[in-house]
Structure 1
Amino acid sequence: MDSKEKTIELIEQALESVRPYLLADGGDVKFVELTDEMNVVLELQGSCQSCPMSAMTFKAGLEESIRKAVPEVNKVVASNVAALA
């Protein structure tokens, strides 16, 4: 397993730690990619796409969990929510 694969595995684990809270509210998150610049691209799904709290959930939940697991990540962006991208 190379370094990028290991990083992606850590990101997926971080998302799994937050996923139950998203699912409880009818939403979810999908890992899309890890760019060469160490930017993580996520896709918010279900009710998370239109929820007024999605920006806070994204920053305080998803991004924080990913940064704790993988401090070398530069940026975490949502591919499908204009206000977060």
Structure 2
Amino acid sequence: MKTDNDIIDTLESLEQFLLSVENGGLGLEGVAGVGMATNNSDGRHFVAVFNDKQQLLLARWISDEIFETGKELVRTGPKRH
């Protein structure tokens, strides 16, 4: 998994990450979606950016709290633009 070792541990940081993905600020090409998941090998949670073939482009670790409280933000997208 292609990950950044910084852990997203606030809703504001999650929102900023999502805005960066939307605005092309991370240099990713072919972004089709974002989702949250759990790593099967160690149980850590992450937010993932996928292309249209469901291939992982980028992932960022998230805290357990953000995994629980940030689901709606990931589902509906950030409100600020």
Normalised-by-shorter TM-score class: 0.3 to 0.5
- TM-score normalised by L of structure 1: 0.33
Q: Relative contact order: is structure 1 or structure 2 higher (C-alpha 8 Å, sep ≥ 6)?
A: 2
- TM-score normalised by L of structure 2: 0.34
Judging by fraction of residues, say which structure has more helix.
Answer: 1
Judging by fraction of residues, say which structure has more strand.
Answer: 2
